[in-house]
Structure formats: C-alpha cells, structure tokens
Structure 1
C-alpha cells in the first residue's frame, strides 16, 4: 500500500465511523483528533445528520468552526450557530418522488428533516427512527411533513432491505433527487446533485484547503462521493461493501477506534 501524503483536512463521518454504537466519542479518538489538529490539520464533521441534531456533539468535541450536515445540504458554522449555505428539497419534487417510489415498491414510511438551525425531524405514522436517541416529532398525516422547507426525506419499507429500497428508488427518481443510504434503516432523498462531496468541497473552499490534502473516514454508501473527492478514503472494518470497494484503506471498526488508529499512524 502506498504511503498517503500529508493531510491538512480530516473529514469524519459520525454514525458508524467516529461515533461508537452508544453515540459516544472515545477518549482515544478525541486524543487522536487533538493530535491531528495540533499538527495543523482541520477536523471537519461530515454527516447525514441535520445541523440541529449535531450541535450537542460538536459542542462536546469543542468544535466551533464548520461542519457539513444533512448529507452535504448544509454548511454549518458552529461558533456562530448559523448556516453558511443550505439547499432545500422542493416539496412538489419530494411528493412526486414518493409517489413514483410507492408505485414501484408499494407503501413506504417517510420522515423529513426541516431546514434551519432549529429545524425538526418529523415522522409520519409507521416510520421508526433508526437512531432512537435522536429526537423526532410524529405527525398524523403525510401532508404535515411539508409545512416548512426541508433538506431531505427519509424512507423505510416494511419488507425490502435498505439496499433493495435504495436501488429501486434510484431507478425511478434518480433524475429528480439524489438517493443515498447512510446507515441501517436510512434510505434518503435529498436535492439532486447534493452529496457529502459537494458539501465538503464547499467547506474546503471556505477554509482555503485543497482536495489533495483531504483525508476522509466513513462506513456507508453515502460516503462514496466524499471518498472520490478526497485524496485518501478510509473505510471502517464493518463498512458497506460498496464503500470498501472504493476505499484506499480499511481500518478497524468504530467500536475499536478505527479513526484513531489511522490518525495515530499519520500524526504520531
């Protein structure tokens, strides 16, 4: 394996990557990130979670700079508690996309992330949150999901696997929205052309950093665009096979501090 270059930008996914199963960041990982930043690298969280669901974690990590949220739809300034950029998913597009998907695979259950630093996650009847620790507000009817601008739609199917649902959705609405899979029970529709790569590229531009100096960590197919954008992509041991296929390196699992293992090697 060729030795990777020096990195000025360290981009980490959260769920299944930097976070352990209990949503915590280990002391070892915190120390490794601190060592990297002390050496001059910038740490950027790049997550599918919307900005409101990331605030407490950023605060616990002492991050007061930028974070890429909502699968790349939001560029969040933690210190100022404001969005520097945000792309929303058109309501009509979302409704048409859901109709096409249900015509293909039958009934699905939907949720949405509202735009804004205080936006809510709304879930319709039948939808179960894949992360029970994340707050959500249940609505009675699907049309209540669209009361305010949204950044994405989350989908679940009562029978189909995540891979099957994502493939079916991509086949019928790929021209309308970006379809991603970011974790167990998490198939998502977001504005067309928006990915973690577009969000990370925008953040790097704000920081004056180049992709040639970017190191990325992830575990799911939604991290594939980020890996292709960055100079070096590191997948976790239990990452989705699609991500491993494009990774430059595979580390140990998130439970075994896979991010820290690589950063300790690179930053001493």
Structure 2
C-alpha cells in the first residue's frame, strides 16, 4: 500500500508565484506539477484574476478541473467552462466604498471585473492596467463601470503607495467590502467576507479534501487568508513582507521556479 500523501492539495497563486514575469509557466514547474499529479495530488489555481482572464493559462497547464478565481469570488470549472459558484459586489455598495476612500485620499482611478465567464474588465480614464497583457475596455465615465454585475473593483492612486492606499481603504470601508492587495498597482475591493480562503475551502470540499492536506504558494497579502486556511504556506522570495511574516517557508522567486523547488523536494 502506498504511503499517504503529505499534501494531497496544492494551491498556487499565478502572478508572481507560478507565473514568470512574461506570464509563462516554466517547463520545470510544469514537470514538477505533473510529478505531484502522478503521485495523486490535485493542483488548484487560486488567483485574483477573473475566470475569463484565466482560461488561456488553465489551457497551458492542461487543467480541466476547478480553479478559484476573482480573489475567491468565483469557483470556475474549466472542463465545462462555467461558474459553479460566484458572489458579486453590489454596485451601490461599491460606489459608497469608493466615495469613502476618495473622501480620505482624493481622487482614485478605478476599474472593475464583471461577473460571469465572459465578463469584461472595464477601466475608467486614468486607470492603468498593472498587467498590460490582460485585455481591458476603457469607458468614458465611472458610471459605465456599473453597467453589469461585478465581482470586484480595482483601485490605483496617483501618489500613494499600494500599502498606503490599502491601509486607508481598510480603515474607512469597514464592512462594505473586503480590501485586498494582490500585486503591484493592484488594490481591490471585493464582496465582504470573501477571500481566497473562501474559494479554496469550497473547491476543497468539492474535491473531498480538507485543509490538513493543503499546501499553498503565494506572493502577496491577498494570499494570507489562503495560508491561514492551508496546512502549510510557502511564500516566494519576491513576496510581500506581510506574507513572508506568516509563511511556514520561503522558497526561491517565481523567476527561479520557487514552486518547482518545493514540489521537487516533496514529490521526488
């Protein structure tokens, strides 16, 4: 009888974690994930990207199962190309939260990810996409951001750092929304109480797996709830200090195949 797996569930963030700077997954990482799968482990992508922006990457990974998208607000089934579960952020609530933030820090630039497998990313004047490879549609007025149900709001400030903007937003938004920071230039508002851990727990339940068997990889503060839920959290060398502070281990950077380095040790 084979020995039980130490980690039957491998949860990886994408940007700054599994992906290199060119949005590619290295051959080494693909091989390490394949070895883990051959041993019986399940790989779950857990990302802030909405489902429509994850499709090509899941195809490259050969994933036909579940993926947690939109910071935990979406559980996407790649095999059937549908959302098994999704939570939207009320647009009036989003407007109120934005108003509270701007009352503190002045004008911010906003974008939204629409809900659904074909939802668009809309950006208002002044907003610059942190990932230029991701498609977005520019609108003329903020009111147009609310034209369809949304999963989250993305914020940028012309002067404040991401840490400063996120801290201020958390202080004034309260229970209107959950504030996360998922990457350089990416402060986000999502439905209150929704985090990557929410989606990961739901996906694990669908797979019949528990938190005691979960190994999580990440690089930004939005990965903290996922680390707190999983049995073990591994931060990348390029990770934000807040995530490194709660990690069980720090591996090499995403450019140096940090995910593969750990998986090669665990699944030789």
In the alignment, structure 2 segments of 5+ residues that lack a partner are none
Question: Equivalences for 1:6-17 in 2 at 5 Å?
Answer: 6-17=6-17
* Equivalent residue number for residue 60 of structure 2: 60
* Equivalent residue number for residue 264 of structure 2: 264
Aligned residue pair count: 264
* Equivalent residue number for residue 103 of structure 2: 103
Question: Equivalences for 1:245-264 in 2 at 5 Å?
Answer: 245-264=245-264
* Equivalent residue number for residue 194 of structure 2: 194
* Equivalent residue number for residue 124 of structure 2: 124
* Equivalent residue number for residue 212 of structure 1: 212
* Equivalent residue number for residue 223 of structure 2: 223
RMSD, aligned CA? 0.6
The structural deviation recorded for 1:174 is 2.6
* Equivalent residue number for residue 50 of structure 1: 50
* Equivalent residue number for residue 89 of structure 2: 89
The structural deviation recorded for 1:175 is 1.6
Question: Equivalences for 1:130-141 in 2 at 5 Å?
Answer: 130-141=130-141
What is the CA–CA distance in structure 2 between the aligned matches of 1:244 and 1:123, rounded to whole Å? 31
Could you say what secondary structure the match of 2:16 adopts? helix
What is the CA–CA distance in structure 2 between the aligned matches of 1:175 and 1:144, rounded to whole Å? 25
Q: Deviations over 1:183-230 (max 9, x none)?
A: 000000000000000000000000000000000000000000000000
What is the CA–CA distance in structure 2 between the aligned matches of 1:224 and 1:40, rounded to whole Å? 26
TM-score by length of 2: 0.98
TM-score by length of 1: 0.98
Q: Give the ranges of 4+ consecutive aligned residues of structure 1 lying more than 3 Å apart after TM superposition.
A: none
What is the CA–CA distance in structure 2 between the aligned matches of 1:253 and 1:91, rounded to whole Å? 37
Could you say what secondary structure the match of 1:245 adopts? helix
In the alignment, structure 1 segments of 5+ residues that lack a partner are none
* Equivalent residue number for residue 151 of structure 2: 151
What is the CA–CA distance in structure 1 between the aligned matches of 2:22 and 2:85, rounded to whole Å? 30
